[in-house]
Amino acid sequence: MAGDLGGKKVLVTGGGGFIGSHLTRRLVDLEAEVAVLTKYESIVDNVRLAALWDDILPIEGDLRNLDSLRSLVDFAPEVIFHLAAYNHVGGSFRHYSEALECNGNGTANLLNAYQDYERFVYISSSEVYGAQTVPFIETKIPQPVSPYAIGKYTGELYCRMMMAELGQPITVLRPFNAFGPYQSTRAVIAEIIMTCLNNDPVRATEGTQTREFNFVGNLVDGMVLGATTDSAIGQIINIGAAEEIAIRDLIITIKEATSSSSELQFGSLPPRPTEIPRMRCDNMLARDILGWTPEVDFSSGLDSTVKWFRAFREVYGNPESQLNLLSSSTR
């Protein structure tokens, strides 16, 4: 992999996000010349990239504003990973306009702003499948059931149009749910971990719905392979472990992993409207085309994630930590 991307000019949109920051870190390790498209060219607004800030080129721009993307031409990336999106499924029902604009039109703007790349990897989402029978295989017709998913699928369709009409070298990846260090507590595993570490009650639905949860490093492996495997061009490929876990079982597992005394209040929350009852990946294309299999199993990934959040909590919750001393220095 290092030989494939080493020395390449690589752009990551959404590089300050959870998965994007892990991908950016990997690309720097692979000795790529990495640029990150960000709304604000400021390390304060991109804290996940703090340790990498001197090793990357931040490019200020907004996918919703085509004029602001002109600076991409100056960087002239050879490889583009497109992760930037409005990314909260539940919140997209309230912020549907932003979700559709960012995920659909934003992708079209990017694809029209610059086309002289060698490879373009569009990071879609397993959410595009909607409420279908499992496993989710790439030949199923997507049935998105949220504004978030509709926007992501719109981006997919635009990519497919660019592939068919202009012959652009694009690969579409559909990663399934991710978890790991640096994740926002808006995501279910991060939220439950922090709640359990605080020994607060965990409020949940009955938890019968299932999801896949993939350690972020495994997904990054798949993304790098998606950009460096010639036979992936023109393909739509799931990236997931093909293992599902019920949310109830997930919560119980996290409580045990954190040695928490939290009360588990199953049934205290109503089901989310248009909840997808089951999600499980068919990953044969990823295995056959990319040669990808997940290296870190769920248990090992969860252990390292809990360890990271313990450390985060100690820093964030300690009034004498450097983080809190810095944040209070202007009072």
Q: What is the pLDDT of residues 150-176, one digit of tens each?
A: 999 999 999 999 999 999 999 999 999
Query: For the chain, which domains are there?
Result: 2-179+214-240+278-297 (3.40.50.720)
C-alpha closest to that of 221 among 8, 16, 29: 29
Tell me the average pLDDT of the chain.
94
Residue 88: per-residue pLDDT? 81
- Average pLDDT estimate for 38-63: 91
pLDDT at 242 > cutoff 70: yes
Dist. CA 109–CA 166, nearest whole Å: 16
C-alpha closest to that of 266 among 287, 277, 284, 250: 250
pLDDT at 143 > cutoff 70: yes
Please report where in the chains the tokens 């992999």 appear, as a residue. 1
Residue 153: per-residue pLDDT? 97
Residues 6+ apart with CB under 8 A from 208: 246, 247, 248, 277
Say if CB 38 and CB 45 are below 8 A apart. yes
Dist. CA 20–CA 16, nearest whole Å: 6
pLDDT level of residue 40 (50, 70, 90 thresholds):
confident
Dist. CA 85–CA 103, nearest whole Å: 5
Say if CB 283 and CB 240 are below 8 A apart. yes
DSSP count for the chain of H helices, then E strands = 12, 13
Between 318 and 141, name the one with better pLDDT: 141
Dist. CA 251–CA 130, nearest whole Å: 23
3-state secondary structure of 24: helix
Residue 324: per-residue pLDDT? 84
Q: Counting Cβ atoms within 10 Å, is residue 314 exposed (0-12), middle (13-18) or buried (19+)?
A: exposed
Q: What is the CA radius of gyration of the chain?
A: 20
C-alpha closest to that of 109 among 20, 13, 10, 19: 13
Say if CB 286 and CB 238 are below 8 A apart. yes
Q: Is the peptide bond before 135 cis (omega within 30 degrees of 0)?
A: yes
Encoded tokens for 46: 């991109």
Terminal C-alpha separation, the chain = 48
Please report where in the chains the tokens 């997904």 appear, as a residue. 219
Residue 71: per-residue pLDDT? 87
pLDDT at 114 > cutoff 90: yes
Please report where in the chains the tokens 């804290």 appear, as a residue. 47
- What percent of the chain has pLDDT above 70? 98
